[in-house]
Structure 1
């Protein structure tokens, strides 16, 4: 009898210990580190004002930067801006080094083969900028001239589609539009073809240095690009942008950068 009682007592003690251990595990679970917040990485050219560029404090600012931040806030995710070689943007996106391309990205049929786009949010033209004292007054005057353009930009495709391009002395490609405009200022170029939104930003800063021709190399539209297999992110971004247009947030950001609402 004594042996049975001892055995029963031991079993009860073991049960009590198991319950006690179970109670001690709960606080450990509560103190576990929270899961990391979701994040999207935005690839951009950080020398493309006013869409995305570095200010005097070397901080990334711009119209598209503000739009992306507002969209990320609505999606409840963190956003990281990653400067990339814009000429290799498709590879950066496809290699999953960035999740989104959002920096004055023109929608073209060629790019649609590798990138899924949101609906257009801005309209753009490929304008021709010349020096204020230039004899070039129209596209036809570019015959025999040296024309600058940003490598990897939609301006290259727009120019190559135009018959006048065959008459150029040279189509010189640059890493960014800033370098091209510097060569225009020093006389090493006769003209620069670039996005209207970017071109007008620079011309407004130095109105005595540049002129914009009435002729242009076509109308384009900007969109946000994601991987073609990332339909969920594309849908969420589109919903956020639609909401931003509807409630006036996009118009507010546009007015801050352009003085008026130019969002489509």
Structure 2
């Protein structure tokens, strides 16, 4: 009888141990992997000035880079910046090669199907840029012209939202480049008539290369906002990052970083 009782007690203890173990795993799973890591990996396009790019010494710098470093310093995490093929960014996140996409990443409905976004922190616009001597002054003037954009970018999505206009481009299509820098170099070489890209990037680009060389049209392909893309299961991590970004807005840290890169505070303060 005593032996049977001891067996029953031993079995109960074993069952409770398994139950607690499963419960702990469940909680960890709910938090997501990124929340449990000491070092998080940020996927980025290292040619996207001024958000994240390489300086003359090859160091990764930029507005988003400074924001990320400050945020994860507050969250007691190390951060690694991983250059990726921008056209594969969501797949890289899904495959867990990176923990987030943070590099002038525009929020839209298509992307929301694949990632969870933080609150927006910057407003942006998809603008049309040409050389200053170009006769292109409006969207109408893009007919039979070579129009370029970065592959798998929000710029391309914005252009394709107007299929009737795209059909009037030369060859009825947008010419795609791996990076915005490649597209702009093609514009300078005269092989492309116009480029559609993020206004924040374009204004920084023309400021460094000569404002008299280019013009930005009044017509554009719409407004948008930047956010940080995270795996949907990383709910606790998303909550903590949002809270950290809110604190950085309130205490002025975001504004200081904005002034450093843009000369003014352009942070989106709307909730």
Structure-2-length-normalised TM-score: 0.83
Q: Using the alignment, how far apart are the partners of 2:161 and 2:37 within structure 1?
A: 45
Q: Using the alignment, how far apart are the partners of 1:49 and 1:171 within structure 2?
A: 22
Q: How does 1:11-90 map to 2 (within 5 A)?
A: 38-90=38-90
The answer for the alignment partner of 1:181 in structure 2 is 184
2:71 counterpart SS class: helix
Q: Using the alignment, how far apart are the partners of 1:48 and 1:244 within structure 2?
A: 23
* Corresponding residue to 1:239 among 232, 239, 243: 243
Q: How does 1:144-163 map to 2 (within 5 A)?
A: 144-162=144-162, 163=164
Q: How does 1:164-179 map to 2 (within 5 A)?
A: 164-169=165-170, 170-179=173-182
Larger relative contact order (CA 8 Å, sep ≥ 6): 2
The answer for the alignment partner of 2:96 in structure 1 is 96
Q: Using the alignment, how far apart are the partners of 1:39 and 1:171 within structure 2?
A: 39
Please list the CA deviations of residues 71-124 of structure 1 after superposition, one character each: whole Å capped at 9, or x if unmatched.
000100000000000100000000000001100000010000000000100000
Q: Using the alignment, how far apart are the partners of 1:202 and 1:138 within structure 2?
A: 21
Does 1:124 find its partner at 2:124? Answer: yes
Q: Using the alignment, how far apart are the partners of 1:149 and 1:59 within structure 2?
A: 26
2:211 counterpart SS class: coil
58-67 or 197-206: bigger deviation? 197-206
Q: Using the alignment, how far apart are the partners of 1:166 and 1:107 within structure 2?
A: 26
CA shift, 1:208, in A, is: 2.0
Please list the CA deviations of residues 145-195 of structure 1 after superposition, one character each: whole Å capped at 9, or x if unmatched.
000100011011100112322211141000001110011011100000000
Please list the CA deviations of residues 25-76 of structure 1 after superposition, one character each: whole Å capped at 9, or x if unmatched.
xxxxxxxxxxx97111011000000000000000000000000000000100
Q: Using the alignment, how far apart are the partners of 1:165 and 1:121 within structure 2?
A: 30
Does 1:226 find its partner at 2:230? Answer: yes
1:173 counterpart SS class: strand
Q: Using the alignment, how far apart are the partners of 2:249 and 2:128 within structure 1?
A: 30
Aligned-residue CA RMSD in angstroms?
1.1
2:105 counterpart SS class: coil
**For this pair of structures, how many residues does the alignment match?**
229
Q: Using the alignment, how far apart are the partners of 1:181 and 1:208 within structure 2?
A: 15
Structure-1-length-normalised TM-score: 0.85
2:141 counterpart SS class: helix
The answer for the alignment partner of 2:115 in structure 1 is 115
Q: Using the alignment, how far apart are the partners of 1:165 and 1:246 within structure 2?
A: 43
| Unmatched tracts of structure 1, length 5 or more | 1-35
Does 1:142 find its partner at 2:142? Answer: yes
